[in-house]
Amino acid sequence: MKIAFVGKGGSGKTTLSSLFIRQLAATGAPVVAVDADINQHLGAALGLDEADSAALPAMGERLPLIKDYLRGSNPRIASVETMIKTTPPGEGSRLLRVSEHNPVYDACARPVELDGGAVRLMVTGPFTDSDLGVACYHSKTGAVELFLNHLVDGPSEYVVVDMTAGSDSFASGMFTRFDITFLVAEPTRKGVSVYRQYKEYAHDFGVVLKVVGNKVQGQDDLDFLRAEVGDDLLVTVGHSDWVRSMEKGRPPRFELLEDVNRLALRRLHTAADATYELRDWERYTRQMVHFHLKNAQSWGNERTGADLAAQIDPGFVLGESLTALAASNFRLTPTV
């Protein structure tokens, strides 16, 4: 299951994604945690100290390796240089699983021990001014998008992405890559304005968008969110002393998290699991192709000097049966 946390800066994306990751880990589920937020804090929120956080490998600096591995023997992708962040997989491409060893995890993921088990953490690396706002070849989140576009995940295994809601993810199509998107909103006008913008983009793409109210202090806050986002409001979270202790560098054991907040996390978990039956790999592949063509036209063809539309394998549909076939050493064939 692929899950995104988006929202305004400071709304609590990183805090809530880290709690959700802890919740998943506590159930023993395999988890890949991805920090794609402008402010890279997910490692710290998962309990890493400054030195360990600073030592995390940046996906954004390992794009050539990621592309080279994923390209595999796909004849439609002539070189790493012509592979852009939206280049879709096709026959010959290498696909990824949540639980496996592969060179992408070796290069980009590090284990983080949590109560209940270890998760893999991957980070885009710090953003600079040149990373923001533009759909560019070297985009840091491009590494995450390539990862998601080559990932074949099943139920009860999770990729959780702490992500900035911004023009980059809308232009590249990254916002369509998730089974469910949790939009974290404080009960303020600014908090819900990001929701409105997201909802508008998401509308035509079948994006499952749920609002998680954060720092909600009472009935008035709750009423405000209800009035602004209606049925999209999934659950609300109040101030957490557990979070505060964690931020002081004294992380309590996860089982000491306040009951009401634990309940909220279970609601998120249930909501995420429930989207599995909505999953449509054909639509997922089609959207990948849609955004690839868009990016090819707007900058990719010019940047690479190639006709990137030719990278699309018309018969290819990403899906869970593909890795089952690969595992038994069959030639990859499209699913119907």
Ligand X SMILES: Nc1ncnc2c1ncn2[C@@H]1O[C@H](COP(=O)(O)OP(=O)(O)O)[C@@H](O)[C@H]1O
* Strands (E) located in the chain: 2-7, 31-36, 109-114, 117-123, 158-163, 180-185, 209-213, 233-236
Q: Is 190 a binder of ligand X (CB under 6 A)? A: no
* Of residues 47 and 334, the one with the C-beta less far from ligand X: 47
CA neighbours closer than 13 Å in the CB half-sphere of residue 293: 10
* Of residues 11 and 169, the one with the C-beta less far from ligand X: 11
Shortest CB 253 distance to ligand X, Å: 17
* Of residues 41 and 67, the one with the C-beta less far from Mg ion: 41
* Of residues 39 and 321, the one with the C-beta less far from Mg ion: 39
- # residues near ligand X by CB under 6 A: 19
Shortest CB 39 distance to Mg ion, Å: 5
Q: Is 11 a binder of ligand X (CB under 6 A)? A: yes
Checking DSSP bridges between strand 109-114 and strand 117-123, what pairing results, if any?
antiparallel
Options 9, 64, 206, 315; binder of ligand X; rule CB under 6 A: 9
Options 13, 150, 210, 292; binder of ligand X; rule CB under 6 A: 13
Shortest CB 287 distance to ligand X, Å: 26
Per DSSP, the residues of 275-316 read GGGG--HHHHHHHHHHHHHHHIIIIIHHHHTS-GGGG--TT-
Shortest CB 194 distance to Mg ion, Å: 13
Q: Is 37 a binder of Mg ion (CB under 5 A)? A: yes
How far is 66 from 104, CA to CA, in rounded Å? 6
Closest CA to 59 of 135, 140, 116: 140
Q: Using CB atoms within 10 A of its CB, is residue 57 exposed (0-12), middle (13-18) or buried (19+)?
A: middle
Residues that bind ligand X (CB under 6 A): 7, 9-15, 37, 39, 41, 214-215, 237, 239-240, 243-244, 247
Residues that bind Mg ion (CB under 5 A): 13-14, 37, 39, 41
